[in-house]
Structure 1
Amino acid sequence: MQNPRESALDVLMKVDKKEALSHIAIGETLEKYQFSDKKDRAFFTRLCQGTLERRLTIDYVINQYSKMKVNKLKPLVRALLRMGVYQILYLDQIPDSAACNECVKLAKKRGFSKLSGFVNGVLRTVSRQKENIVFPSREKDVVKYLSVSYSMPEWIVRHFLSNYSEQDTENIVRSFLEPKKTTLSWMESNGSREELVDSLKREDITVKDGELLPEAIYITHYDFLKRLSSFRQGRFIVQDESSMLAGKIADVKEGQDILDMCSAPGGKALYMADKLHGTGQVLARDLTEYKVELLEENMERTGFHNIRSQVWDARILDEDLRESMDVVLCDVPCSGLGIMGKKHDIKYNLEEKVLKELVSLQREILKTAVAYVKPGGVLIFSTCTINPKENEDNYRWLAAQPGFEPEDITSLLPEYLRIETAKEGYIQLLPGIHPCDGFFIGKLRRMK
């Protein structure tokens, strides 16, 4: 990676033009330069992620000091200003002069010499005025204040405020800007937890216990995950604790038949296959060849033989599976409002009208899901969002289906999460309040 700033510029432009999702564009660049200097790779990653996650705040600042508004700028100039302002406002270890000069150099290198003076002028003005920037007043307009302060679209802020207190809303949106920990799910079938931890430490990785489940391990100070010996040996998968919790609440027993309807990239399916200890079977499905290939990569690496994959549209009923499954996991496509801290594109690309459309799609899938559960079996319904219409409303709709009853999940939860709704069979996890992604999990049992 000869110039991490130039690599970051390329990623920011791809994302701005909607040519790639940010986590994919960043991941592909890191893969390409996996043997580059660790510091360069770390700076590239932080510059990309930081600029993207703070974009609304950065644009607010640029618009105060630029004669031309952000949305009128040429894509390359817009990307340069954004990453320059990010460095000036948020990276204390980078001198403002370096941030300005490097952006000017890139403007000239990319054929924008005539606009390099404009780039220089805006960035140097921001540098001089950064202690005097006027942000929206909380007292006058709490929505605009939270939107600009935490780089969150106003409609999403209003959505959260309509469902949660002002303090909880601020905790949620603040959490999306906090550094994200990498969480591993230990695969018991491929060696002991102690062996995994020892292997990680031998590669100079900082290891900490998870906060909710014993399978969870937090790691920091690693470079390229796929080069770790424990990764290649299938000793873990990368999985947030909220996702692990969905598998935990399923309470898998040896010998069971399990269907994961919307599985890719397969974390929950692998978590449950691990709990079967080589018995039973997990059928993991998803809509496209691409998604199933992601699942199969993880299956091959972990080496489990009690899991198979299949391309299948979850909306279409498979008569061969009717009332045949002990556990059906239905992690439906959703708005993703609970994982915006890891997938920055969501908050910028999602439209409010899509929330209603998603509820309709989810119910199509859930209507099919109930048909697969055998008498006495369970249905796990989950999403990675924070939206009562997608979550609680859908759960109540499921509970009204003939023969299904909510099942108390209190005993399956860490004591820290044993809230009142667990008795009714569901839990809504909130980032900034719980130590994990925003996630909804509900459990129902088929009584007849």
Structure 2
Amino acid sequence: MKLDLAREAALKILYEINEKGAYSNIALNKYFSGHELTERDRAFVTELVYGAVKWKLTLDRMISACSSIRLEKLSPWIRNILRLGAYQLQYLTRVPPSAAVNESVKLARRYGHKASSGFVNAVLRNIAGGGGKDVIPDKAVDPVGYLSVRYSYPKWIAGKFAELFGEKFTESLLEAGNQVPDLTVRANMLKITADELIRELKTEGVDALPGKYVRESVVIKGPVSVSGLEAFRKGLFQVQDEGSMLPALVLAPQPGEKVLDACSAPGGKATHMAQLMNNNGLITAMDIHEHKLKLIKDASDRLGTGIIHTELHDASLPVPQHEGMYDRVLLDAPCSGLGIIRRKPDIKWARENRDIESITALQRRLINSVSKALKPGGVLVYSTCTLLPEENRCIIREFLDNNDEFYEDDIAAFLPAGLSKYASGGMLQTYPNRDGIDGFFIARLVRKGK
């Protein structure tokens, strides 16, 4: 019995994610680094893993409706085999149903006991025949339940979004969170322009086009192994969504200045700031984890940004020697990550509503700490990749209420055309469904004086 290598790889990776708490992107990269797979198989594995993670709640409802055994009573291997099979049946129309069922049965024979293959066969054939179609609640009777199951989100997220944004916008937002995002990169303007990068990529057989808003952004089309590209090895670009490029643009660091990047890893924003500073000045890239400092250094070395100096420190604790030292401070704060679910779907299942209180407590400590490092007249940018006001506007309002030496600075002048109209004073919130980029919050504050 020969197993399909891609499906077996997807099963092993999914097991690491669902049963051992691994992050999907890290689990995929770890597996790929240790196994030889064709580009086609790598793309299929990635699609299977992200799809099964993304649609887990809906898939589990369908499986439960078609199974005589409760989901939690199944072995983890069989549970994940069923998820992969059901995902192919429901969401991958190009995969013949017979292939989805038969390959899942083969996996069950290898990873289950004697009766497992028959059980998997029965459940998946039931789903293929239309079983489990009625698991989605009636929209008129239970609108939050409908949103949760229809788009595979925990009920607390669907309910919170509906309360904040209304049902119509929320439905669009949840749908956008399930779409495959563009692979966007930032041209390293120290070495190449965006147009030149597009031409350079074309010589390697890669189609690319300009991004939506940011002049240095480039969208790569089609599946591609980025690390295998010569343009990547030569430091001509950095993988980075346009939403993630906005904080550095709003901070607008100038050549010769001293900048603190308080929660810097993996270094995308620090290297972007070095680019904006024309590699002239000083950037202190701080992180609490030593192994993450290496990520920053590796990115800086590859891109040729020589002004970044890493520092191991907990940014929630002030550094006396940093007080009043920096012209600009970027605080890209740890957050719930609800604005980048389309990129990291496991965030749906890793977060709980009760987490928000501890996250916001850390965000308050961080902004109060790093603000002390700013010179009078200096600029502080606070950013997150979440959509929740309690992690965003509420943090800024509370900080300003308690620190009258800071004020909001008009953010619109620092934003790309197409986004400035959404600015509100010193703040901007982007949304995947409205803007086509990751959901980011950015606030620009200035310390009085000078």
Q: Which category of TM-score, normalised to the shorter sequence, fits these structures?
A: over 0.9
Q: Partner letter of residue 124 of structure 1?
A: R
Q: After superposition, what is the alpha-carbon deviation per residue over 1:203-240, rounded to whole angstroms, capped at 9, x for unaligned? A: 11121111111111100224311010110011111111
User: 1:136 touches 1:145 (CA, 8 Å); kept in 2?
Assistant: yes
Offset at 1:46?
0.4
Match of 1:297 in 2: 298
Q: Partner letter of residue 32 of structure 2?
A: L
Match of 1:371 in 2: 372
The structure 1 residue matched to 2:34, chosen from 32, 35, 59, is 32
Match of 1:314 in 2: 315
In structure 2, C-alpha distance between the alignment counterparts of 1:249 and 1:139, rounded to whole Å:
43
Match of 2:195 in 1: 194
In structure 2, C-alpha distance between the alignment counterparts of 1:99 and 1:226, rounded to whole Å:
31
Mapping of 1:98-109 within 5 angstroms?
98-109=99-110
Match of 2:413 in 1: 411
1:88 aligns with 2:89: yes
Offset at 1:316?
1.4
In structure 2, C-alpha distance between the alignment counterparts of 1:135 and 1:156, rounded to whole Å:
17
Match of 2:10 in 1: 8
In structure 1, C-alpha distance between the alignment counterparts of 2:222 and 2:422, rounded to whole Å:
38
Match of 1:176 in 2: 177
Offset at 1:398?
2.4
Offset at 1:67?
1.1
TM-score (norm 2): 0.96
Match of 1:441 in 2: 442
TM-score (norm 1): 0.97
In structure 1, C-alpha distance between the alignment counterparts of 2:142 and 2:230, rounded to whole Å:
52
More divergent stretch after superposition (372-381 vs 192-201)? 192-201
Q: Partner letter of residue 332 of structure 1?
A: A
Q: Partner letter of residue 147 of structure 2?
A: L
User: 2:78 touches 2:112 (CA, 8 Å); kept in 1?
Assistant: no
Q: Which stretches in structure 1 are left out of the alignment for 5+ residues?
A: none
Q: Partner letter of residue 6 of structure 1?
A: E
In structure 2, C-alpha distance between the alignment counterparts of 1:165 and 1:416, rounded to whole Å:
24
In structure 1, C-alpha distance between the alignment counterparts of 2:167 and 2:98, rounded to whole Å:
39
Offset at 1:252?
1.6
Q: Partner letter of residue 182 of structure 2?
A: K
Secondary structure, aligned partner of 1:278: coil
User: 2:66 touches 2:132 (CA, 8 Å); kept in 1?
Assistant: no
Offset at 1:414?
2.3
Q: Partner letter of residue 254 of structure 1?
A: P
Q: Partner letter of residue 224 of structure 1?
A: S
User: 1:199 touches 1:229 (CA, 8 Å); kept in 2?
Assistant: no
User: 2:194 touches 2:218 (CA, 8 Å); kept in 1?
Assistant: no
Mapping of 1:205-220 within 5 angstroms?
205-220=206-221
Offset at 1:105?
0.8
Mapping of 1:263-278 within 5 angstroms?
263-278=264-279
Q: After superposition, what is the alpha-carbon deviation per residue over 1:339-359, rounded to whole angstroms, capped at 9, x for unaligned? A: 111112211011111101111
Mapping of 1:24-423 within 5 angstroms?
24-33=26-35, 36-129=37-130, 132-400=133-401, 401-419=403-421, 421-422=423-424
Q: After superposition, what is the alpha-carbon deviation per residue over 1:26-66, rounded to whole angstroms, capped at 9, x for unaligned? A: 12222334x53221111111011111101111111111111
Secondary structure, aligned partner of 1:329: strand
Offset at 1:90?
0.9
Q: After superposition, what is the alpha-carbon deviation per residue over 1:260-319, rounded to whole angstroms, capped at 9, x for unaligned? A: 000100111110001111211111011111211211221121121111111110011111
Offset at 1:364?
0.7
User: 1:182 touches 1:238 (CA, 8 Å); kept in 2?
Assistant: yes
Secondary structure, aligned partner of 1:385: coil
More divergent stretch after superposition (237-246 vs 10-19)? 10-19
Inter-CA distance 83–157: structure 2 relative to 1 (3 Å threshold): same
More divergent stretch after superposition (307-316 vs 377-386)? 307-316
- After superposition, the CA RMSD in angstroms is 1.5
User: 1:181 touches 1:218 (CA, 8 Å); kept in 2?
Assistant: yes
In structure 1, C-alpha distance between the alignment counterparts of 2:97 and 2:105, rounded to whole Å:
12
Match of 1:23 in 2: 25
User: 1:399 touches 1:405 (CA, 8 Å); kept in 2?
Assistant: yes
User: 2:180 touches 2:343 (CA, 8 Å); kept in 1?
Assistant: no
User: 2:280 touches 2:307 (CA, 8 Å); kept in 1?
Assistant: yes
Offset at 1:72?
2.3
Secondary structure, aligned partner of 2:148: helix
In structure 1, C-alpha distance between the alignment counterparts of 2:433 and 2:194, rounded to whole Å:
28
Inter-CA distance 132–319: structure 2 relative to 1 (3 Å threshold): closer
Inter-CA distance 229–2: structure 2 relative to 1 (3 Å threshold): farther
Q: Partner letter of residue 45 of structure 1?
A: T
Inter-CA distance 324–195: structure 2 relative to 1 (3 Å threshold): same
Q: Partner letter of residue 141 of structure 1?
A: D
User: 2:65 touches 2:131 (CA, 8 Å); kept in 1?
Assistant: no
Corresponding residue pairs, total: 446
In structure 1, C-alpha distance between the alignment counterparts of 2:196 and 2:381, rounded to whole Å:
32
User: 1:204 touches 1:222 (CA, 8 Å); kept in 2?
Assistant: no
Offset at 1:136?
1.4
Inter-CA distance 77–245: structure 2 relative to 1 (3 Å threshold): same
Over the matched positions of the two proteins, sequence identity in percent amounts to 37
Q: Partner letter of residue 358 of structure 1?
A: I
User: 1:208 touches 1:218 (CA, 8 Å); kept in 2?
Assistant: yes
